[in-house]
Amino acid sequence: MCLDTVDKVTKEYTEGYKIFEVVLKGELVRPELYDTYKRFPLHEWVEDNSETYIYYNEFDTEFNNFYKSGFHFFVNLKDAYAWMGDSTDLCGVFKVKVRNIVASGKQRLYGIVKSKNAKVGVAKEMYIEEEVT
């Protein structure tokens, strides 16, 4: 997940939805597309301590469109399910609490929902609750 557009004023979300691969039912999950094999526990706050930035505008010739990295999450449940598509046997949608929001914006859901822009936030801290059923 990466933002296609970034809000000029970051929205202060407190919860959202994230897709995880279930590693150990009820205990450990691994973020889908987080570029890591790190496993995260349920019901604990986890932090992204990295100081990296993500470039988000492929049409920017000045190369100055960046946002701070962190845990990307969908604001709306239906967008998380749309992004997951047919991966329901491998992944699940989990409700997350978030804090220390570093970016917010929109991400296009190519090929899944035609020209749909999903609201997305990026947080440095995340609390993973139960899988949404």
User: Would you list the DSSP string of 44-71?
Assistant: SEEE-----EEE--TT-TT---EEE--E
The pTM for the full model equals: 0.83
Residue type, 52: T
Where in the sequence is the domain holding 28, given as residue range(s)?
5-131
Give me the number of domains the chain comprises: 1
Cβ-contact 3, 71 below 8 angstroms: no
Pairing of strands 15-24, 28-31: antiparallel
Query: Average of pLDDT values for 16-38?
Result: 71
pLDDT at residue 28, as a whole number: 66
Burial class (CB in 10 A: 0-12, 13-18, 19+), 123: buried
Total residues found in the chain within this entry: 133
pLDDT greater than 70 at residue 21: yes
For residues 59-79, average pLDDT: 80
Q: What is the mean pLDDT of residues 26-35?
A: 62
Mean pLDDT of 98-108: 93
